[in-house]
Amino acid sequence: MSFLNSIEKNSKKFESPFNHWELNEPLTQDQINEIVNADIANPTEYDLNYDGTRAIDGGEGKFREGISDGGKALKFRCFITKENADKFPHLRNFIQELQNKKTHEKISSLIGKDLSSSYVRVEVICDRQGFWLKPHCDIKEKLISCLLFVNKFNESEELGTDFYDSELKKVKTLPYRDNYGYFFSSGPNTWHGMEKKEIIKERRCLQVNYVTFKTDWKVED
């Protein structure tokens, strides 16, 4: 229960610019290895540009639906589903930990939201040079937002998420450290993003959400 252990023993709460918790060592080494080795296409090799959102995943038809000559559809992030979970056995264990009643009840007690009817969504992200994310608040269907960093190439710690106040003034940057991360409860004035910064090789992360809409992973009652 590495994630729960991190919350209980290796986390720290911050209140500025909004309530959030930073986590140290939330992942096992096997889980990190699966994140590092996940096959994710590089948009810079396909003449695609980042636009301050993650909408690049739904870009040109040939990238969204597959290539007409029979090539495999490109993926710029990788959701862990029942269809591909056999390729990610250790991340499947991580999802089971998130589904576990003890885990979601602990998070519920911290954020003041009931997660007992929620679903888990987990995706591997690999951002490359040119990526940026405009300040935004997450959709209300995301009950918590969590990003876990995997920095295997000694990228700058400045590549972590930027947090903003209600006037969109940057207040802090979460450090992009290996096996480190954060979570917060989505809501008004939880502004976050990532300003344009130099990524030498890649910025790889695991994005974790408890959501109100159905996924393959319902939490335990």
Cβ neighbours of 202 (radius 10 Å): 21
pLDDT in the model for residue 77? 79
Q: How far apart are CA 192 and CA 18, in angstroms?
A: 10
Higher pLDDT, 120 or 45: 120
pLDDT in the model for residue 75? 64
Strand pairing partners for 164? 170
pLDDT tens-digit readout, 162-171: 999 999 999 9
Residue indicated by tokens 């939490």: 219
Bond prior to 17 in cis (omega within 30° of 0): yes
pLDDT tens-digit readout, 184-220: 998 889 999 999 999 999 999 999 999 999 999 999 9
Length of the chain: 221
Integer angstrom CA distances of residue 150 from 29, 157, 185:
10, 11, 22
pLDDT in the model for residue 58? 43
pLDDT at 136 over 50: yes
Name the helix (H) or strand (E) containing 103.
helix 101-111
Percent of the chain with pLDDT over 70: 87
Angle between helices 29-37 and 89-99 (to 10 degrees): 120
* Residue-averaged pLDDT of the chain: 89
Q: How far apart are CA 204 and CA 217, in angstroms?
A: 23
The band of 72, judged by pLDDT with boundaries at 50, 70 and 90, is very low
The band of 65, judged by pLDDT with boundaries at 50, 70 and 90, is very low
Strand ranges inside 64-141, DSSP E: 77-79, 119-127, 133-136
pLDDT in the model for residue 49? 67
26 CB-near residues (< 8 Å, 6+ apart): 2, 3, 6, 7, 10, 148, 179, 180, 181
Domain 2-218: assigned CATH number: 2.60.120.620
pLDDT in the model for residue 182? 98
Do 28 and 90 contact (CB within 8 A), yes or no? yes
The band of 47, judged by pLDDT with boundaries at 50, 70 and 90, is low
pLDDT at 94 over 60: yes
| Cα separation of the two ends of the chain | 18
Name the helix (H) or strand (E) containing 63.
helix 61-65
The band of 130, judged by pLDDT with boundaries at 50, 70 and 90, is confident
69 CB-near residues (< 8 Å, 6+ apart): none
pLDDT at 21 over 70: yes
Question: Hey, where are the domains in the chain?
Answer: 2-218
Name the helix (H) or strand (E) containing 171.
strand 170-173
pLDDT at 175 over 80: yes
56 CB-near residues (< 8 Å, 6+ apart): 43, 48, 49, 50, 76
